[in-house]
Amino acid sequence: MFCIVDCGFVPRSALEEIDSGEPRVHKIWELIRASKYAIHDLSRVELGKSNGLPRFNMPFEFGLDIGARHFGEGRLKTKCCLVLEAQDYTYQKTLSDVAGQDAASHHNSPDEAITAVRGWLRTASKRTTIPGELDIKKRFAEFSTQVPAIAAAAGLDRLKLTFVDYVHMVEVWLGARAA
């Protein structure tokens, strides 16, 4: 999220609003429809602690996004996606129908994730205003050391930050640095 905000984009997630009256998949459909860019981290398919079963939310959402691009009309045809995975070629072993898609591996390293996301956003958007990866990594490292204090000052538990709270903290912190 930090890298996306630092690059001048607005991260979106079905977690940005809590409405128990609306199924999460409806929120996901709307986000897919409204977003030109999407990042799907397939390394987040993890086994449940209580039942040992994998959660397939990320591959499902990636499939919806690919479907929107293929079956949709207008700007949906021009959507751009980045697939992230922890290790090279892992998704091809577990999701072989998407073999041939370019994926970036982050090896569970924030630095490698920043490199992948920043490079993709620069290429996909063609924006020339995107900062260099070394600058983003430096700011992220500094921000990360300050998260406990920022969260505490806001009366938040840093281990239980919501998507909205975390993104807001990033935006405020980056905005204060730019001022």
The number of domains in the chain is: 1
Q: Is 117 among the domain residues?
A: yes
Would you state the pLDDT for residue 51? Answer: 85
Q: Report residue 114: phi and psi, to 5°.
A: -60, -45
- Please measure the distance between the N-terminal and C-terminal CA atoms of the chain and give it in whole angstroms: 21
Q: Is 61 among the domain residues?
A: yes
Would you state the pLDDT for residue 65? Answer: 92
Would you state the pLDDT for residue 21? Answer: 83
Q: Is 155 among the domain residues?
A: no
Q: Is 158 among the domain residues?
A: no
Angle between the 163-178 and 133-153 helix axes, to the nearest 10 degrees? 110
Would you state the pLDDT for residue 149? Answer: 95
Q: Is 174 among the domain residues?
A: no
Domain that holds residue 22: 2-130
What separation in angstroms does the CA of 106 have from each of 41, 42, 110, 113, 168? Answer: 9, 11, 7, 5, 25
For the whole model, what pTM was predicted? 0.83
Q: Is 93 among the domain residues?
A: yes
pLDDT digits (tens, 9 = 90+) for 16-40: 887 788 888 999 999 999 999 999 8
CA distance 43 to 62: 12
Would you state the pLDDT for residue 19? Answer: 78
Would you state the pLDDT for residue 83? Answer: 86
Would you state the pLDDT for residue 23? Answer: 86
Q: Is 151 among the domain residues?
A: no
pLDDT digits (tens, 9 = 90+) for 78-91: 999 988 887 765 65
Alpha carbons within 13 angstroms on the beta-carbon side of residue 145 total: 5
Q: Is 50 among the domain residues?
A: yes
Question: Which ranges of the chain have pLDDT less than 70?
Answer: 88-102
